[in-house]
């Protein structure tokens, strides 16, 4: 890949980097479908890799959109997240390189759609992913888990394995109701299983400045959730929706477009928060 992406980062961005110890595991979750989870996972991962973070994307959605969007062919997915969850492969065996330096991926496979049922047999079914990741992430700064649009066993495994959750929220009617339900689930997971789980933040996606509803939803969400909502808003941008069909993050497909620039800003904010959370 071109090293264009590995530019010297702006000062504020460079300063924001955490000189890392242990990898941070961030689940990208929202049980609502089509809100920008996968797009955020792919592009945030790419933006972090661009500032020389070592990033692993874990595609935990049977739809496999993150794998496709990162250019992973079906034939390359023989050992995937399913095998890791079920204990048939180690994490290392499932990790694939992408064309982006510093960015690797554990792909998803169709088998993963049956995993929710197969996992029921395991006593440690809520912690399969956590166990599979334990001690296996040396060299990584960030692991981003792309969750499926449901609050089933796969997402619960992601939330139990994660240090933090990042919630993409589409600027549309009912957005607040859906996310309130998610926040309650996160609280329950925190109380029952993973007391250190933090909300990294909420990112408003597919914002359309020509649509009054987008503005109204953004205002409501900020009023309700305050500072955990990132300042960065991801605009609705056709380049963002075109990029996956080329198997590329939009940051590679069209670095200058508004969507790419927004994801660069988001990465900068995420790193700043990581620095604050680490204090």
Ligand X SMILES: Nc1ncnc2c1ncn2[C@@H]1O[C@H](COP(=O)(O)OP(=O)(O)OP(=O)(O)O)[C@@H](O)[C@H]1O
Q: Does residue 108 bind ligand X (CB under 6 A)?
A: no
CA distance readout (Å), 261 to 110, 182, 256, 265, 266? 33, 28, 6, 6, 9
Q: Does residue 169 bind ligand X (CB under 6 A)?
A: no
Tokens standing for 13?
């961005």
The region of 35-43, 51-59, 112-120, 183-191 touching ligand X under the rule CB under 6 A is 35-43
What character string, x for contact with Mg ion (CB under 5 A) and - otherwise, covers 209-228?
A: --------------------
Tokens standing for 92?
């290392």
User: What are phi and psi for residue 14, nearest 5 degrees?
Assistant: -60, -40
SS3 3: helix
**What is the Cα–Cα distance from 54 to 139, expressed in whole angstroms?**
7
* Binding partner selected for residue 79 from ligand X, Mg ion, none, CB under the kind-specific 5 to 8 Å limit: none
Please identify, using beta-carbon distances, which residue of 65 and 232 lies nearer to Mg ion.
65
Evaluate whether 182 touches 151 at the Cβ level (below 8 Å).
yes
**Near ligand X by CB under 6 A: residue from 62, 71, 249, 259:** 259
Please identify, using beta-carbon distances, which residue of 17 and 30 lies nearer to ligand X.
30
**Near ligand X by CB under 6 A: residue from 6, 18, 136, 149:** 149
CA distance readout (Å), 188 to 156, 192, 193? 11, 6, 8
Binding to ligand X (CB under 6 A): which residues in 228-257? 234, 236-237, 240-241, 244
103 Cα distance to chain centroid: 13
Q: Does residue 36 bind ligand X (CB under 6 A)?
A: yes
Provide, rounded to whole angstroms, the least separation between the CB of residue 236 and ligand X. Answer: 4
Tokens standing for 265?
């800003």
Binding site for ligand X (CB under 6 A): 33-39, 61, 63, 65, 149, 205-206, 234, 236-237, 240-241, 244, 259
Binding site for Mg ion (CB under 5 A): 37-38, 65
């Amino acid at each position: 890949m071109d090293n264009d992406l590995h530019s010297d980062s702006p000062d504020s961005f460079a300063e924001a980097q955490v000189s890392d110890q242990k990898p941070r595991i961030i689940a990208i979750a929202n049980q609502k479908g089509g809100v920008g989870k996968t797009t955020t996972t792919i592009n945030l991962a790419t933006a972090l890799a661009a500032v020389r973070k070592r990033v692993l994307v874990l595609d935990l959605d049977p739809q496999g959109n993150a794998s496709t969007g990162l250019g992973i062919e079906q034939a390359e997915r023989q050992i995937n997240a399913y095998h890791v969850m079920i204990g048939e492969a180690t994490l290392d065996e499932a990790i694939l390189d992408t064309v982006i330096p510093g960015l690797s991926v554990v792909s998803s496979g169709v088998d993963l759609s049956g995993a929710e049922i197969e996992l029921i047999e395991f006593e440690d079914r809520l912690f399969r992913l956590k166990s599979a990741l334990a001690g296996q992430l040396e060299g990584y700064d960030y692991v981003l888990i792309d969750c499926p649009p449901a609050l089933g066993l796969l997402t619960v495994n992601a939330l139990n394995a994660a240090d933090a959750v990042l919630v993409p929220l589409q600027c549309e009617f009912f957005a607040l109701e859906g996310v309130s339900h998610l926040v309650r689930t996160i609280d329950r997971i925190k109380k029952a299983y993973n007391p250190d789980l933090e909300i990294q933040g909420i990112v408003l996606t597919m914002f359309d400045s020509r649509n009054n509803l987008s503005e109204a939803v953004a205002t409501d969400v900020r009023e309700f959730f305050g500072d955990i909502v990132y300042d960065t808003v991801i605009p609705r941008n056709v380049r963002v929706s075109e990029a996956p069909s080329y198997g590329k993050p939009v940051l590679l497909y069209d670095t200058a477009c508004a969507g790419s620039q927004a994801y660069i800003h988001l990465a900068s904010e995420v790193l700043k928060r990581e620095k604050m959370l680490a204090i």
